[in-house]
Structure 1
Amino acid sequence: MNRPAWLLFVLVSVLWGIPYFLIKIAIDDLSPLLVVAGRCAIGAAALVPVALLRGSLGALRGRLGPVAGLAAVHIVGPFLLITYGETHISSSLTGILIAIEPVVIALLMANAEPITGIRVAGLVAGFLGVVVLVGLDVSGDSWGLIGAGMVLLAALSYAYATKLVQQRLSDVPPDALTAATTTISTVVLLPFAVFRLPSPGAVGADSWLALAGLGLLCTALALLAFYRLIALAGSNKAGLVTYVNPVVAALLGVTLLQEPVGVGTVAGFLLIVAGCWLSTRPTRTPSEALAPVT
């Protein structure tokens, strides 16, 4: 990756390690549905003026179908799954489970980059990491298992969304794409969220600030950077931001929310990281493999 891609990679890695911590704070006083709808609405309010000023919305003409599909699989679905999932599991475990995303991307992109023996080993390691996490961290807790399942479904949805952007929407300017997806998501969610409004004075300032951070930083800015990263580096490399996301999420959860991290959490995370690394290694052609080292 070139320098702009690396800078975007670091930015997205940090911005998408923060939301699990902010979600945990926001759902103390706000319903998960309202958190997701509010997050989308704040993101759209920030992004639409940017797209209008840049005159990039014309690039969406004739793309309503894939853009609406992207809104469903990259925002509405996974945001709801993660937020409701965090009512049952810790923010640090949520971030670690999301790290399975590069393994899923490797499977989805198998036609473009064949699954080699090393990649199979990576896929197996990643799967074992999830088994260890779920088996040791939430074993015997039915609601914990449900929460973990929601987060894993969100990871699958994120992986498909990454592939969708690269294959069908990589030529759309990121500001137009993010403005459209957040607006569509807001329109879909707000009619339901109005029935979940809190009573006056029932929400603390920390919850409102967390929601603002989710909308401005973790949605608007992060999506802009991520879609641009996909265009520069491709879906496989862009998906590797989940190497760093869990570290940020775990550090915030442990230091600020006093969430426990057991042996199972560490072991599962290491297996997932190893699986991601192996399953996303670039495939060399026979001529490249036989080329002399200089």
Structure 2
Amino acid sequence: MNRRAWILFALVAVLWGIPYLLIKIAIEDLSPMMVVFGRVAIAALVLVPVAAVQGSLRALRRNAVPVVVLGLIHIVGPFLLITYGEVHISSSLTGLLIAIEPVLIALLMLRAEPVTPVRAGGLALGLVGVAVLVGLDVSGDRLGLLGAGMILLATLLYAVATVYVQRRAADLPPTALVAGTTTVATVVLAPFAAFSLPTGAVSGGSWVALLALGLLCTAVALLAFYGLIGEAGPNRAGLVTYANPVVAVLLGVAILDEPIGVSTLAGFALIVAGCWLSTRPAPAPAPVVECTMAAR
């Protein structure tokens, strides 16, 4: 990756490691639906004027379908699933489960990239890591299993969206794409959020967490991520999930006092190893050397 791609990679890694902590704080006083609506509405309010000033909104007219699709599969679906999932599981486990995204991207791109024994082993190893995490952390807890299932489904949607961006929306300016998708999400969620308004007092911490979710973890992070896909492609962009869980776990343990044991670390190690192996490029075929005999 070039220098710009590495900068975007580092920025996204930090900004997408923070949301799980902020979601935990926000849902103490706000409903999950209100948290998701609030963060996308804040992002849209910031991004639409930015895209308008840059003149990139015009590009949305001829790309309405991809923008609507991405608004649903990259924002509405995953944000709701993650926020509701965190009602039942810890923020650190959420971050660890989302680390499986590169494996899912590799599975989605099997037709485009050859399957080598190393890649196949990596895919299997990553899935074993998920099984270890879920089996040891939430085994016997039905609500915990439900929460983990929601997170994994959200991760699958993230993987689908990452591939879709490259195939259908890579030429769109990132500001227009993020402004469009967050606006779509805001419009879709507004009717549901109207019935989820807080009925009691909301602490300042919850409001600050919601503001940070919208401004930093949604607006800025999505801009950086779409730019990263354009610079490095979906496979390498998906590798940002290597770093996200580290930030999520450190914050969850340090601030929320969430437990983490050897089994959790082992599951994460399996996922990271699987992601690394499954996303390795296939070796280039050896050049064919044609030998000809000179006529005598």
Question: TM-score under structure 2 normalisation?
Answer: 0.96
Deviating beyond 2 angstroms after TM superposition, the runs of 4 or more aligned structure 1 residues are: none
Q: Which has the larger radius of gyration?
A: 2
The percent of aligned pairs where both chains have the same amino acid is 69
What is the match of residue 265 of structure 1? 264
Equivalents in 2 of 1:284, 1:55: separation in Å? 43
What is the match of residue 111 of structure 1? 111
What is the match of residue 162 of structure 1? 162
Equivalents in 2 of 1:287, 1:238: separation in Å? 28
What is the match of residue 177 of structure 1? 177
What is the match of residue 225 of structure 2? 226
The Cα shift of 1:188 comes to 0.4
What is the correspondence of 1:39-50 to structure 2 with a 5 Å cutoff? Answer: 39-50=39-50
Equivalents in 1 of 2:111, 2:90: separation in Å? 36
Q: Determine if the alignment matches structure 1 residue 38 to structure 2 residue 38.
A: yes
What is the match of residue 274 of structure 1? 273
The Cα shift of 1:287 comes to 2.3
Q: Determine if the alignment matches structure 1 residue 147 to structure 2 residue 154.
A: no
What is the correspondence of 1:1-294 to structure 2 with a 5 Å cutoff? Answer: 1-199=1-199, 202-287=201-286
What is the match of residue 291 of structure 2? none
Equivalents in 1 of 2:177, 2:283: separation in Å? 33
Instruction: Describe the SS at the equivalent of 1:284.
Output: coil
The Cα shift of 1:264 comes to 1.9
Instruction: Describe the SS at the equivalent of 2:24.
Output: helix
Equivalents in 1 of 2:244, 2:57: separation in Å? 30
Equivalents in 1 of 2:223, 2:134: separation in Å? 32
The Cα shift of 1:270 comes to 0.3
Equivalents in 1 of 2:121, 2:137: separation in Å? 24
Equivalents in 2 of 1:264, 1:83: separation in Å? 24
The Cα shift of 1:282 comes to 1.2
The Cα shift of 1:111 comes to 2.0
Instruction: Describe the SS at the equivalent of 2:89.
Output: coil
Which amino acid in the other structure matches residue 29 of structure 2? D
Equivalents in 1 of 2:73, 2:85: separation in Å? 16
The Cα shift of 1:150 comes to 0.1
Equivalents in 1 of 2:114, 2:20: separation in Å? 33
Equivalents in 1 of 2:196, 2:37: separation in Å? 10
Question: TM-score under structure 1 normalisation?
Answer: 0.96
Equivalents in 2 of 1:174, 1:183: separation in Å? 14
Which amino acid in the other structure matches residue 180 of structure 2? A
Which amino acid in the other structure matches residue 81 of structure 2? L
- Once the two structures are superposed, residues 74-117 of structure 1 have per-residue CA deviations (whole angstroms, 9 ceiling, x without a partner) of 00000000000000000000000000000000111122211211
Equivalents in 1 of 2:111, 2:59: separation in Å? 28
